[in-house]
Amino acid sequence: TSLRELAKKKNLLIGTSLRHWPFTREHKYREILYREFNTITIENAMKIENIHPQPDHYNFSESDLLVDFASDHQMKVRGHTLVWDKGLPTWITEGKYSKEETKRILKEHIQMIVSHYKGKVFAWDVVNEAFHDDGTYRDNFWFRSIGPEYIELAFRWAHEADPDALLFYNDYNNEGSNAKSDTIYQMISDFKKRGVPIHGVGFQLHTAIDQKPDLKAISKNMKRLADLNIQVHITELDVKVNKKQAATKEAWDQQAEIYGDLLKTCLSASNCKAFIMWGFTDRHSWLEEYSPLIFDKNYNPKPAYQKLIDIL
Ligand code: XIL
């Protein structure tokens, strides 16, 4: 049995982010990928600096390879990410463009990428991490160049390029009850009133065993988004253990508990449609020194994997 097989019966998208480097070099990596998951997010290859490294040059080769693999194995692809203040090439940040030029650059970028993957990417993280934890706008490159309306413009432009794609706003520390999740809720209510196309919110959920998520608050937040007809995807889940605790059984069990609790919370919400982890093996994680994932460095399943199986 596998997570993928079990998730199918629950109509759940279960997924992982995916890296080009191990994908092309480690057979085990590819094998677990399509055995266990029905959905992928490409971890870095679609970020602007990688996919659009020069003004007139797009590099689709890495992401095309991964997207084609997904379609060969009947897996869905989440696109990540069109607008972010990280992963920006210097031709954009140091280009000294005017406001109008920056808008044109962003529009062309979004529409080029979204139309290239039309019909292949079912959901996009259109805007990533636009707010501080206190709910105010991040004073990032796009905000400074265009103003706060860069967010809604990005959604409108993406929708023009692929009217069938689901469009998400994605962030961290936005799953529970706090100023950031309130701001996002208000932004979406406003978008809905004014007809700005948006379909979902991504909860990154980078968390840790000493930072237990508040499940009640998460359910409540999911519910108020459901009332706006907004989907939720858990988009980048990982659960850090402290470096010292990494080897102990208690630490793995605590980690498993958090994975399991979040899966249950997602399954019990009508609008939580995807449970995506930010990688699957501790061998290839952006936080690898904290062993945050469900397979160990040798591709053996950890207690967290078994916990997910038991719940599904
Ligand atoms: C991270 C990748 O995992 C790293 O490999 C890369 O060096 C930096 O970006 N929030 C996001 C992701 O939305 O895109 C980030 O991914 C992790 C935090």
121 DSSP 8-state letter? E
Give the list of residues 6+ apart from residue 54 with CB closer than 8 angstroms, or none.
89, 91
Position 243 confidence tier, pLDDT thresholds 50, 70, 90: confident
pLDDT tens per residue across span 100-111: 999 999 999 999
Q: What is the pLDDT of residue 244?
A: 74
Instruction: Please state whether 299 falls in left (phi above 0), alpha (psi between -120 and 50) or beta.
Output: left
Whether residue 269 has pLDDT greater than 80: yes
ipTM of the complex in this document:
0.99
236 flagged as catalytic: yes
Whether residue 246 has pLDDT greater than 90: no
Report the nearest atom of ligand 1 relative to the CA of 285: 3
286 lines ligand 1 (CB under 6 A): yes
Whether residue 281 has pLDDT greater than 80: yes
Max distance between CA atoms of the chain, in angstroms, equals 56
Whether residue 6 has pLDDT greater than 90: yes
Q: What is the pLDDT of residue 238?
A: 98
pLDDT tens per residue across span 111-121: 999 999 999 99
pLDDT tens per residue across span 29-83: 999 999 999 999 999 999 999 999 999 999 999 999 999 999 999 999 999 999 9
Structural domains counted in the chain: 1
Protein residue with its CA nearest to atom 3 in ligand 1? 286
Query: What is the domain range of residue 98?
Result: 3-311
CATH number of 177's domain: 3.20.20.80
Cβ–Cβ < 8 Å for 64, 72: no
Query: Could you tell me how far CA 101 lies from the centroid of its own chain?
Result: 28
Report the nearest atom of ligand 1 relative to the CA of 125: 13
